[in-house]
Chains A and B, each alone.
Chain A
Amino acid sequence: MTVFLVRRLVWTAFVLFAITVLTFLIFFATPGIDPAAAMAGRNTDPATVESIRRDFGLDRPLPVQYTMMMKRMFVDRDLVSYTNRGVQVLPQIKAAAPVTLSVVLGAAVIWLLLSTLIGIAAATFRGTVIDPLLMALGLVALSTPVFWLGEVVNLLTQSRFHDSLLFSWVPALGYTPLTEDPLLWFRHLIIPWIVLAVGFIGLYSRVLRSSLLEVQNEDFVRTARAKGLSERRVMVRHVLRMSLISFVSLFGLDFGALVGGGAVLVEVVFGLPGVGSLIFRSASGLDLPVVMATVIYAAFFIVLANAVVDVVYALLDPRIRLGRTQTA
């Protein structure tokens, strides 16, 4: 396990480093782009452009520029927005982070819970009409763009049927911190959570179902049945347990897509002032320092979350935890 942890830690550090380098190259070394003018955004004041060139050391070699940027990002933490003159970047991110965290964690819980239940239900009711029905629903769910679904849901809950008994509890678009009013926090977020999770539930229930059916054909399941275990025990302790391994490893990869992709869109659609909304606003305002900082911090969060999932994955699978060498 130690060997595994160390290897994973080194790889994570390397990925983090690579992400900063790549982001740096995108923002400061894309061919044909003048980074100073880009950073200034729609602000064409030559004095500002000149000061950016000086502040970021843009007339010096690339490695020096990289070091200076990293220093500003992680040590001095004094990046400012030039389009939104003088506003500090990091406090904005800090304020937005809890919103995004609320959005993605709630959605992830619903995603894992419902896809496990639906996947098991479909595999269990194989051969009846329930299985193809659930799988068809899953296919539709994973084919629906999350932001469009959000808009349609908004149309129904905020406008068309807002006055009906069904949706009168839905608050106006926006956000209330958990610490302020937990119930309102929940009422604000429950619909975004579900909307964000729907596509992943569709995908993961299908993945889990086919994994369950595949594992059921493994030799060790035959052994488990020959042992005289109850069908429920065979399914839960042997089949589901093995299916969860691939399920969790996939989850690690797609959690990044949830944070970096779906959450951004859902925050925009539901007016949640999270990191996604911040990226959206600064991207449409061409406010590059904010985009850069947000992307790097969000990427760090995703990569670290991936590392955590990988450790869970290793805990689930002794073959990885203990290394693959045979001792006998």
Chain B
Amino acid sequence: MTKEALLEVRDLSVSFRTEDGLVRAVGGVSFCIRKGEVLGVLGESGSGKSVTMMSVLRLIRDPNAIFAGEVLYKGRDLMRLPEQRMREVRGAEIAMIFQDPMTSLTPVYRVGWQIAEQIRAHQSISPNEARRSAIELLGAVGIPNPTARVDDYPHQFSGGMRQRVLIAMALSCNPDLLIADEPTTALDVTIQAQILELIMRLKDDFGSAVVMITHDMGVLAEIADRMVVMYGGRIVEEGTREEVFYDPQHPYTWGLLGSIARLDRPKPQRLTAIQGAPPSLLHLPPGCAFAPRCPQRFSRCEARPPLHDKLGTGHLDACFLEPEAKRTRRAVGIADPGLAPS
């Protein structure tokens, strides 16, 4: 993994002014995405994963939102780009697809028109050519009979088909980076696998890097090259897929791993849940955000742990426990957190 960085986020913070005070949705997040790789961003709702990626594209237009930090894309800081230049990046160089395909297409326009609209926003081609590209793309994402379906309206498509349309739209300008924000969450389980497979196949065809935002570890287990785990608006662990799955460093990641069924373990184990509820961003604890739910917490957790490369392998985590202590506790922790020392 020595390929150059395509997108580098440096110390990004996003806050919202609300009636109840300032809510810090993202608190100083840094990571990078390399050309052609798949980065998984994992976290519960409210962990700031969607806010982070939408801020990258500057899609948060709430007048109460406050941003800080840098987003370097091919050397340019997107946060400081004029709106006109930013528009040329959106949809053409970085594309994004969203969680709910049912509501993500404008109901009153034909799907082909909506795809062509994006192409024509970025390339000077004739309406006819754009339409032909739209048909081609619909075929590429597996819509049967694209020549006829190109003139259908969104309500004439099922959810899975609409997500395919949205993927076709996202890829219409051959972007270098595709951000997929829980693209399968709203879909039936059988459709989920098809959509994931489609994204992975097209990523190779189009040579795009992919950021896959999800709360589903199973999704990332199959496709991610590297992973970022977020909790309470911060990154708590970052590493390659193998590192995070086979040598997880943060107790929150252990909890996530303990809560999914594993067929690759020698004997069947009880599934475990993380105790408590996700933190209120209004009342974040001053130290480690996970501490109130963490079976491993100790005195140092009153302070905020830095994201640190304790192993020296580029596998980062934000926990004060020493790697050795983690290794011993983790075995017990994942097996049965009820017996874990607290």
Contacts and interface: CB of A to CB of B under 8 A. Distances in A.
B153 A322 contact: yes
A238 B157 CA distance: 19
B87 A230 contact: yes
Contact of A328 (B98, B156, B173): B156
Interface in A222-238: 222-231, 233, 237-238
Interface string B68-106: 000000000000000100011111100110101001111
Interface string B90-128: 111001101010011111100000000110011000000
Contacts of A322: 153, 155-156
User: What size tier do the contact residues of chain B reach?
Assistant: 35 or more
Contacts of B104: 219-220, 222-223
Contact of A224 (B100, B106, B107, B153): B106
Given A242-B108, A324-B155, A327-B156, A226 B63 contact: no
B88 A328 contact: no
A228 B115 CA distance: 12
A78 to B, nearest CB: 50
Given A226-B59, A229-B121, A319 B155 contact: yes
Nearest to A238: B106
Nearest to A324: B155
Question: Which of A218, A223, A231, A328 neighbours the largest number of chain B CB atoms within 10 Å of its CB?
Answer: A223
B158 interface: yes
A127 interface: yes
A77 interface: no
B53 to A, nearest CB: 11
A7 B155 CA distance: 21
B57 interface: yes
Interface in B280-339: none
Contacts of B95: 226
Interface residues of A, number: 30
A319 B91 contact: no
A227 B91 contact: yes
Contacts, number: 91
Interface in A297-328: 316-319, 322, 324, 326-328
B166 interface: yes
Interface in B225-259: none
B159 to A, nearest CB: 10
B108 A318 contact: yes
Interface in B174-209: none
Contacts of A242: 106-108
B172 to A, nearest CB: 9
A222 B87 CA distance: 13
**Nearest 9 Cβ contacts at the A-B interface:** A228-B91, A228-B90, A219-B103, A227-B118, A227-B91, A220-B106, A318-B153, A219-B104, A226-B96
Given A224-B106, A229-B87, 18 more contacts: A223-B105, A223-B169, A225-B59, A226-B98, A227-B90, A227-B169, A228-B88, A228-B118, A228-B122, A241-B106, A242-B106, A316-B108, A318-B108, A318-B153, A319-B107, A322-B153, A324-B155, A328-B156
